[in-house]
C-alpha cells in the first residue's frame, strides 16, 4: 500500500489510499542570516536542520536555531576547510588546510579538541549519523591518503584507498558506504573503506575541490560534481555506475547535498547559481537566490531546509531556505504483521494520526523510534485492529 496525499482540507497531512501523490518542482526563496561576513568554506546541518555549523578561513561558527543567530566558537584558529555533523548536531568534526589538524566537538561546538590525526592538507570530512565513524581525505603531496576513525576521532588509521590527490568524501548514515573523488575519478567502498573500487574516470581532467559529493542515508542514491566544466553526476546503485543529469555544465560547481532519501537535492556554484531538485535529479529548478560565490551547501534530512555559504573573499554570507511540505508517511507490511509507519526525520514536530472515517482523527500514542541507519522515524502498529487511514500532521 502506498502513501498518498490527503485532500486540500488537510494540507499538512499524508494518509493511505484514495488520492495520488503530487510532486511539485518549486524554486526556493533564500533569506540571509545574521552570520558575520567571512570567507566561508563549508557548512553542515543536523538531521532536523536546527543545528548548523560553518567554517571559515580562520573561525568556526554554530547556530542552534536554524541559522537565525550564530556564535563564534572557541576552536583554535586555522584555515578550516570542511566540517561534518552527527544527526543530532552534538558531534562535530572539522578539518583544516595548509598543514592543520583535525578537531572534534562533542557538545555542538561549545568546546573543541585536537585529535591524533596528523597535521595535513585536509580537503574534506564526512561522518556517520552517530558521529562515531569518520572519514577524512587529504590533498597533501606527501600524504595524499584517506584516513578513518571508528571511535569518534579518538584514533585514526590510514585507509586502504590508493594514494591520490583526494578532493571530497561522503558517507552513508551507518558509515559503511563511502565515496571519494580525485582528479576526475570516483572511488567507492561498500565495507567501511576495507576495499575500494574505481567506478568513474571523468572526461574532465579535474574535479572541483571541496564538498562535491553526497549520498542518501542508505548510500544507494549518490550525487557528485564533474569538475573542469562538467555537469552533475548521479548514481542509483551505491556508486557502481553514474550518469549525467540534465543540469547544464558549469565550470564552477562547488557543492552538492542530499536529503536522507535522496529525493531532494541541491547544487551550488561559485559563479552564483543555486539549483534544487525534488525528484532525485530528474529535473532541476534555478532558485531565487543572490549571485554570490557559493562554496558549500547542506540540507536537513527531510530536505525541507537548506543552508548555503559563500566565499567572496572576506565578505561571504550564509543564507537559508525553507519549504513547508511535510515528509511522506510510508507503510511497511508483512503477511504476519506488525505494520510499520515511517517517515524521514522532519524539521518540524509531527504527529501520526489515525481515522476510521477520514473525518475524525486521533493521535497514535505509540512513540516513534529513530533508525539512525536510514534517518527514519518509525512507529510499530499491531497486526490487528490497525485498519484505517493514517496521516502525518505538523504540530
> Containing H/E element for 298?
strand 294-299
Share of the chain above pLDDT 90, in %: 59
- Are the beta carbons of 146 and 180 closer than 8 angstroms? yes
- Which of 69, 73, 32 minimizes the C-alpha distance to 56? 73
pLDDT over 80 (residue 337):
no
Q: pTM (2 decimals)?
A: 0.89
> ∠ at Cα 155 (153, 156), nearest 5°?
90
Are residues 59 and 43 part of one domain?
Answer: yes
Q: Say how far apart CA 227 and CA 115 lie, in whole Å.
A: 31
Are residues 253 and 127 part of one domain?
Answer: yes
Are residues 311 and 365 part of one domain?
Answer: no
Are residues 389 and 245 part of one domain?
Answer: no
Q: What's the length of the chain?
A: 395
Sheet with 102-105, strands from edge to edge, namely 80-85, 92-96, 102-105, 113-114
Are residues 16 and 36 part of one domain?
Answer: no
- CATH number for the domain spanning 379: value is 2.60.40
pLDDT tier at 75 (50, 70, 90 boundaries)?
confident
Q: Say how far apart CA 231 and CA 316 lie, in whole Å.
A: 25
Q: Which domain holds residue 349?
A: 3-22+326-394
Hey, what's the cell of 367? 512513540
Mean pLDDT, rounded, for 360-382: 90
- Are the beta carbons of 384 and 338 closer than 8 angstroms? no
Are residues 61 and 17 part of one domain?
Answer: no
pLDDT of res. 335: 67
pLDDT over 50 (residue 377):
yes
Report pLDDT digits (tens) over 33-61: 999 999 999 999 999 999 999 999 889 99
Sheet with 157-158, strands from edge to edge, namely 122-127, 134-138, 146-149, 157-158
Report pLDDT digits (tens) over 274-321: 999 999 999 999 999 999 999 999 999 999 999 999 998 778 999 999
Report pLDDT digits (tens) over 88-101: 999 999 999 988 99
- Are the beta carbons of 303 and 263 closer than 8 angstroms? yes
pLDDT over 90 (residue 327):
no
Are residues 177 and 314 part of one domain?
Answer: yes
Among 322, 353, 381, identify where a domain stops. Answer: 322
Amino acid at each position: 500500500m502506498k502513501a498518498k496525499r490527503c485532500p486540500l482540507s488537510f494540507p499538512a497531512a499524508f494518509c493511505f489510499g484514495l488520492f495520488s501523490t503530487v510532486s511539485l518542482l518549486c524554486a526556493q526563496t533564500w533569506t540571509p542570516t545574521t552570520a558575520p561576513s567571512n570567507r566561508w568554506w563549508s557548512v553542515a546541518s543536523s538531521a532536523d536542520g536546527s543545528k548548523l555549523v560553518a567554517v571559515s578561513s580562520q573561525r568556526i561558527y554554530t547556530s542552534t536555531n536554524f541559522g537565525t543567530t550564530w556564535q563564534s566558537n572557541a576552536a583554535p584558529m586555522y584555515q578550516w576547510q570542511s566540517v561534518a555533523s552527527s544527526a543530532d548536531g552534538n558531534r562535530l568534526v572539522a578539518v583544516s588546510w595548509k598543514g592543520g589538524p583535525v578537531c572534534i566537538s562533542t557538545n555542538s561546538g561549545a568546546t573543541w579538541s585536537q585529535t591524533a590525526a596528523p597535521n595535513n592538507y585536509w580537503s574534506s570530512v564526512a561522518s556517520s549519523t552517530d558521529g562515531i565513524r569518520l572519514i577524512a581525505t587529504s590533498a597533501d603531496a606527501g600524504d595524499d591518503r584517506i584516513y578513518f576513525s571508528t571511535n569518534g576521532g579518538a584514533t585514526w588509521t590510514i585507509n586502504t584507498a590508493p594514494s591520490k590527490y583526494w578532493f571530497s568524501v561522503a558517507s552513508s548514515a551507518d558509515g559503511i558506504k563511502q565515496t571519494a573523488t580525485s582528479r576526475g575519478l570516483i572511488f567507492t567502498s561498500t565495507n567501511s573503506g576495507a576495499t575500494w573500487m574505481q567506478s568513474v574516470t571523468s572526461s574532465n581532467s579535474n574535479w572541483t575541490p571541496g564538498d562535491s559529493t553526497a549520498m542518501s542515508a542508505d548510500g544507494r542514491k549518490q550525487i557528485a560534481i564533474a569538475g573542469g566544466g562538467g555537469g552533475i553526476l548521479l548514481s542509483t546503485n551505491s556508486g557502481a555506475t553514474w550518469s549525467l543529469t540534465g543540469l547544464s555544465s558549469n565550470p564552477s560547481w562547488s557543492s552538492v547535498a542530499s536529503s536522507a532519501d535522496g529525493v531532494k537535492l541541491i547544487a551550488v556554484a561559485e559563479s552564483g547559481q543555486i539549483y534544487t531538485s525534488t525528484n532525485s535529479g530528474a529535473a532541476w529548478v534555478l532558485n531565487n537566490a543572490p549571485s554570490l560565490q557559493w562554496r558549500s551547501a547542506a540540507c536537513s534530512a527531510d530536505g525541507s531546509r537548506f543552508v548555503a555559504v559563500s566565499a567572496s573573499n572576506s565578505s561571504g554570507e550564509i543564507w537559508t531556505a525553507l519549504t513547508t511540505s511535510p515528509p511522506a508517511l510510508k507503510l511497511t507490511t508483512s503477511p504476519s504483521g506488525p505494520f510499520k509507519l515511517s517517515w524521514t526525520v522532519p524539521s518540524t514536530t509531527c504527529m501520526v494520526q489515525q481515522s476510521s472515517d477520514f473525518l475524525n482523527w486521533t493521535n497514535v500514542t505509540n512513540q516513534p523510534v529513530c533508525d539512525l541507519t536510514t534517518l527514519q522515524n518509525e512507529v510499530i502498529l499491531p497486526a490487528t485492529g490497525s485498519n484505517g487511514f493514517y496521516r502525518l500532521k505538523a504540530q
